[in-house]
Amino acid sequence: MTNKTINGLYAITDPALTPDERLLPAVEAALFGGARLLQYRDKTASADQRRRRASQLRALCHEYDALFIVNDDPALAAEVGADGVHIGQSDGGIATARALLGDNRIIGVTCHGDLRLARQAADAGADYLAMGRFFASRTKPQAPPADIASLKQACDEFPLPVVAIGGVNADNAPLLIQAGAASVAVIEALFGHSDPADIEAAARRISDLF
């Protein structure tokens, strides 16, 4: 059974920042720096590439006792034995993902800053709620903005872990943690660095906030 504890640093890959030759060293640096979850997000690779990379990342995450999540693809998550999947509002729904993954895998849902969406996800059986974006984000600049008040309300209202996302770095993460976020999801502040040593250092700075 998967340990569903969602807390700490949640690293998310990006194909522009972590291309194929850099992916595994970059992810291992983040894990060594304390990342507790890793989401594989790549909408550009072929099905075979995604399957290969997901299998490699799953093995690497489990070496570091971290959870491995696949973005937007419950079938791939099931195929490679991922710990779970993260889905958006247009990715087939929780019931479809649950049917593929079973009861013991994690399903996280993007809720933006919308408490109505968060309630729907919680009622449908989500394991965590992702709220944001809270700060300007170069990797997802079109994502609708969310405010800290909505994060705090979500953390107070729902018994589920809330993951805060959107432009998060070591300087602004404390605001999100103080508001109740169980985890902060980070892309550019980690993988915007080209040197694995810098990725590790950035991961450690954020991990130490928890």
40 is in an annotated binding site: yes
Start-to-end C-alpha separation, the chain: 25
Cβ(199)–Cβ(172) below 8 Å: no
Q: DSSP letters along 109-135, please?
A: EEEET-HHHHHHHHHHT-SEEEE---S
42 is in an annotated binding site: yes
Provide the 8-state DSSP code for 145: P
72 is in an annotated binding site: yes
43 is in an annotated binding site: yes
207 is in an annotated binding site: no
41 is in an annotated binding site: yes
Where do the DSSP E strands lie in the chain?
8-12, 37-40, 67-71, 84-87, 106-112, 128-131, 162-165, 183-186
139 is in an annotated binding site: yes
138 is in an annotated binding site: yes
2 is in an annotated binding site: no
39 is in an annotated binding site: yes
137 is in an annotated binding site: yes
4 is in an annotated binding site: no
Residues forming the annotated binding site?
39-43, 71-72, 91, 110, 137-140, 167
Residues forming the annotated binding site for Mg(2+)?
72, 91
